[in-house]
Amino acid sequence: MPIVVDDASGYQGEADRWLTPESPEEVSALVREAVAAGIPITGSGAGTGITGGRCPKGGWLISLEKFRRLDAGPGKAHVGAGVPLKDLQAAAAKTGQFYAPDPTEYTASLGGNIATNASGSRSFRYGSTRRHIQSLTVALMDGTVRTFRRGEKLDFPYTPIPAPATTKNTAGYFLPAQGEWVDLLCGSEGTLALVLDAEVQLLKLPKSILSGVIFFPDDTAALAAVEQWRGIPQLQMLEYMDEPSLVMLRSQYGEEIPRAACACLMVEQELDGLPGDPVDEWVERMDSAGGLEDSWFGETAKDRERFRQFRHTLPELVNQRVRNNGHHKLSSDFAVPIERNADMLRFYRESLRREFTGKHTIYGHIGDAHVHVNILSESHDDFVRGGAWMRQAAAHAVSLGGTVSAEHGLGKRKLHLLPLMFNPNEIAAMKEVKRILDPKWLLGQGTIFPDPFITLDLDVSI
């Protein structure tokens, strides 16, 4: 009996077997057996992905959930692919350190984070997962297990592909001239190798962090503040929520959210070593930007967690509403170069107001010119029009020099966006890399590229 496999997007696939190997030798044996028999393999982490990447169209699901090594030492940690991000953070905190990537969803596995080059709110200061990986141990499709250290160059011929001028990107393969193995495999969405283990960089935990949720009476003031605040020293988070997002959050937070609030920015600033009184400085900044007096500020870890929970509640509410409406989530992951942020937001606001009044939210990583638009379909017609809107918005982001996927990857639900960003020669060059590492095209079939052997059901694509 086929086993149903889904992920946080609600996309469903089917596996003939769900395998949970415990050692590199077991993974290697499974890969050799599958390749000899021509059986497709899909790697799986915790299933929090939102593009259907881990949902196979048959074959074997190889879940790395039993790879749980976790040793945190000074400056680095050895982490098995199946370790949840929250466990890694807890182990790092015990040593006075932290792991910088912060993709909001703490139950995600490190292997999944590496496969999608996850980033999240703190990437504003620290960049995405790729930057923090020092070595990767992977199972390749010839059945070998290899460890690639940072700096180890790709040792096969390939055509370099220009990357967009955005601060983050997870669309297609990362193939700069003189590319490195670690960088290529990180973000390849489980289509080139199975990640077993990694050595990740840990940073010293700051002694003091100021967090704020700053409410604004209108969007214009909030967006002007974004441009003014980007250069604030040691700012590690600059997140945005629009009015419809706040309306949704009021269902849980009620009067805690000021009545006059129509937009909000969330900030975190590391205070260690900063001169002056940062709290006073924030009060001044807020006043001159037109922020509301009853905004929230805090300096304790408890405050920070409370504010982060506020942020995390939003995508959960969106997912719940979409589920209740009985439709798949339509959510964008486009980013543009920082200087095009205002242009992209103008496009979002004007076209969404016109076409999806009362059925959309915009929130996310505005510091990186990377916000998520969610269309909350209430009918099949909304869903179809929403899909068309997403394609149009992706093309607009690309026309501004942006990316069709900044942090979630394309998986199966968004692979049709790849040709908007890369020309046929560039896609052919990526496929050539795939063929070198996976000659029978068995790993992660139907993710990033349409599968060459089966017809994909693309009716849920966005």
Ligand X SMILES: Cc1cc2nc3c(=O)[nH]c(=O)nc-3n(C[C@H](O)[C@H](O)[C@H](O)COP(=O)(O)OP(=O)(O)OC[C@H]3O[C@@H](n4cnc5c(N)ncnc54)[C@H](O)[C@@H]3O)c2cc1C
Residues from 22 through 41 that contact ligand X (CB under 6 A): none
Asked if 109 interacts with ligand X (CB under 6 A), we say yes
From residue 411 to residue 430, the character string flagging contacts with ligand X as x (rule: CB under 6 A) and all else as - is x-------------------
Q: Which stretch binds ligand X (CB under 6 A): 70-78, 114-122, 384-392, 419-427?
A: 114-122
From residue 70 to residue 89, the character string flagging contacts with ligand X as x (rule: CB under 6 A) and all else as - is -----------x--------
From residue 300 to residue 319, the character string flagging contacts with ligand X as x (rule: CB under 6 A) and all else as - is ---------------xx---
Q: Smallest gap, in angstroms, from Cβ of residue 260 to ligand X?
A: 28
Q: Which stretch binds ligand X (CB under 6 A): 46-54, 153-161, 234-242, 278-286?
A: 46-54
From residue 195 to residue 234, the character string flagging contacts with ligand X as x (rule: CB under 6 A) and all else as - is x---------------------------------------
Q: Smallest gap, in angstroms, from Cβ of residue 283 to ligand X?
A: 29
Q: Which stretch binds ligand X (CB under 6 A): 117-125, 230-238, 280-288, 296-304?
A: 117-125
Q: Out of 21, 59, 112, 367, name the contact with ligand X by CB under 6 A.
A: 112
From residue 321 to residue 340, the character string flagging contacts with ligand X as x (rule: CB under 6 A) and all else as - is --------------------
Q: Out of 5, 41, 91, 115, name the contact with ligand X by CB under 6 A.
A: 115
Cα separation of 461 and 329, whole Å?
10
Asked if 53 interacts with ligand X (CB under 6 A), we say yes
